[in-house]
Amino acid sequence: MGDLESRGSWKNRGAPPPPPPHSNYYTSSSPYYAESSEKQWTSWLVPMIVVANVAMFIVIMIVNDCPKNHNSSLEGNCVARFLGRLSFQPLKENPLFGPSSSTLEKLGALEWKKVVNENEAWRLVSCIWLHAGVIHLLANMLSLVFIGIRLEQQFGFARVGVIYLLSGIGGSILSTLFIKNNISVGASGALFGLLGAMLSELLTNWTIYANKAAALITLVIIILINLAVGILPHVDNFAHIGGFLTGFLLGFVLLIRPQFAWQERRHLPVEARGKSKYTLFQYAFWFLSMLLLIAGYAFFIALDEM
């Protein structure tokens, strides 16, 4: 499975993989951003998220305690038994070197019945911080570092943090609506949200980019490659799409920048600037995106209460 949104008795959802041989690949290459004199933020949130995910995975494995809770006579021995209670489930049960599905479910994996029928909406958030195994965790965190640090340096921790969390929830919501028979964990919705935000940031801040066509084509190709992974067996693309759409809309709202003509004249007296700070289409995108985001979350809440 690697870094994929997957389904199955233990199968889980994760994020797009790092560079080949895996096909899900995020990059933070400079063509996505226009060079400017704007403040460069110090990235600390993304490293903290990485640390939190690693710490959470250790907690998961301690709770899992394969040597104590697993019946080796039925499915084989735990993997890496020298790790003690941190050892992994048999590879036939979990090929990603991780815990059992029951452990993930206990600690907050996304499950339709529990979210809808038992009102455990907190699972929409908790599942983002759980991982199916070491391979899953590494692939997710590499993807996050590739795209998250660059975005945080450009736009700061607050905006990137909001996009990451709300996109993860958006991915969980769409999965809950369409995937009803399997549990799910992983941060792919949040990671796809950052990728979607990169695209909307490019579109809404179009005037400040030097190599517009190259940046757009490169980013669209990466997005298509990532979404194409959803065609593979055991891969759930609903979390990918839900996270991507949420991040795409949030990018129009949170990552808006002044147009190039305004930046060129911003040091002149007000009467000499002649250009508004934002263009009409930036305001239109902002309003429409806010409307769609509110409508989407309201629709899910209403559906959940029916």
With residues binned 3-state (H G I as helix, E B as strand, rest as coil), the percentages for the chain, rounded to 5, are: 65, 5, 35
70, 131, 136, 240: the catalytic one is: 240
> CA quadruple 201, 204, 209, 214: dihedral positive or negative?
positive
The DSSP secondary structure of 98-145, one letter per residue, reads: ---HHHHHHHT-B-HIIIIIS--TTHHHHGGG--SSHHHHHHHHHHHH
Q: Is 240 a catalytic residue?
A: yes
CA 90 to CA 99: how far, in whole Å?
A: 9
Is the Cβ–Cβ distance between 255 and 201 less than 8 Å?
Answer: yes
* C-alpha torsion 142→167→169→133, nearest 10: -10
Whole-angstrom CA distances from 95 to 64, 102, 181, 212, 242 are 15, 16, 20, 42, 26
Q: Is 200 a catalytic residue?
A: no
CA 276 to CA 298: how far, in whole Å?
A: 33
Count of beta carbons in the 10 Å neighbourhood of residue 61:
23
Helices (H), 156-236: 157-178, 188-204, 212-228
6, 100, 143, 188: the catalytic one is: 188
Active site residues: 188, 240
